[in-house]
Amino acid sequence: MTQVSETDAIVAGAGVWGCTVARTLADAGLRVLVLERRSAPGGNCRCRRDPESGAEVHVYGSHIFHTSDPKTWAFVNRFTAFNGYQHKVLARHAGRTYFMPLGLALVNAFFGKELAPAEVPAFIAAETASAGLPGTPRNFEEQAVSFVGRRIYEAFIKNYTAKQWGRDPKELDASIIRRLPVRASYDVNYFSDVLQGIPRWGYNALFDEMLSHPNIDLRTGVDFLKERPKLPAGKHVFYSGPVDELLGWRFGPLPWRTLRFELENAPVADWQGTSVVNYVDADVPYTRIHEFKHFHPEDAETMARPCTTICREYPATWKPGDEPYYPVNDAASAALLGEYRAAAAREFPDVTVGGRLGGYRYLDMDKSMTDAIATAEAFLKKLRNA
């Protein structure tokens, strides 16, 4: 085991961002100490195998790796093979099931039409024109209606969003809806990225392999913020915990949305026929049901078992001590984040703050990896030029 005094850099947090930083530094010859508060690496991608159903249960909600960046794809494929899973999401509305994202399959089913792809833009334009919107969308609702029209918005977006964020969509920033894919085709893959899948041997094996390097010393069950006074000075730290916690929440906690998961084993081989179904209506308290075995269709034995693990997902108001999932991006949180960033830069010049929690931003796995690689490479370049 590497002695702390022999360490070249410290990585605090072994989620996607932290593991990627650690491996990039280790590959370049640096000795890296990784400190993880939980009992194992992987962050919110950590999974467990259900003994009854055999399914790989995504403990913190479903995670699908997808990217359009060849460099990031090449990096992650060094540590695992992917099973080729292509993510498809269904939506339940008013007792019927529709394909998401918002594309030709949904539009034709919802409106009872047989539009061709070339007809969709004009149809949506007519839907949005009839909504009487201002020139520039001022909030989430106006932005969404400007994309898909009021009828689709009311059916598939409005109530789901209100449940997800615990707020009227008129109170949310317009930028949130820009992640939603909208297509004029029958492509029902949820993500437009062609490079996607689930690690064939699971996410836990991926992160174990990433940290399997002679230059990396992983220590779990260690809280960096509590241990920091004992660590030697002069070691650069890559910190991916909450930035407000780094500074003792001195300006107040940054707001998040959290999630509650309700797991159930059902005595059937297949409960819903797909991995994720969204429940978009206001009278259903949860937003999604996950059925995990569908992430590994190549696992014939698990697929055939007369038992399956499902998970109902309930959004909830976050409070300190809860798991933070989605940052609440509004003017107040942006101002508060600015205060924390300025204080962190001023008081901790030897700390690079990043990742989903540190950056207070929603990051897909590939974006987190891409950012982590760039961060580590910039640090290495600085070392070489010193």
Per-domain residue ranges of the chain: 4-41+211-255+329-385, 47-88+189-199+256-317, 103-179
Sign of the alpha-carbon dihedral angle for 72, 76, 78, 84: negative
Banded model confidence at residue 303, pLDDT cuts 50, 70, 90:
very high
Q: Residue range 339-357: average pLDDT?
A: 96
**Phi and psi, residue 343, nearest 5°:** -65, -40
Asked if 362 is an active-site residue, the reply is: yes
Architecture of domain 4-41+211-255+329-385: 3-Layer(aba) Sandwich (3.40)
Query: For the whole model, what pTM was predicted?
Result: 0.93
Of 23, 31, 46, 183, catalytic: 183
Of 313, 340, 366, 371, catalytic: 313
Q: Do the Cβ atoms of 199 and 56 come closer than 8 Å? A: no
Asked if 257 is an active-site residue, the reply is: yes
Which single residue is written with the structure tokens 């990433």?
210
**Phi and psi, residue 129, nearest 5°:** -65, -35
Please classify residue 105 by burial: count the beta carbons closer than 10 Å to its beta carbon, then call 0-12 exposed, 13-18 middle and 19+ buried: middle
Asked if 341 is an active-site residue, the reply is: no
Asked if 98 is an active-site residue, the reply is: no
Of 288, 291, 360, 366, catalytic: 288
Of 23, 31, 46, 257, catalytic: 257
Per-residue tokens: 42: 């992987």
pLDDT of residue 5: 56
Rounded Cα distance between 88 and 191, Å, is: 8
What is the tens place of the pLDDT at every residue in 228-268?
888 877 899 999 999 999 999 999 999 999 999 999 999 99
Asked if 270 is an active-site residue, the reply is: no
Of 50, 291, 364, 371, catalytic: 364
> CA separation (Å) from 371 to 58, 73, 196, 324, 327?
23, 13, 18, 20, 18
Rounded Cα distance between 126 and 293, Å, is: 41
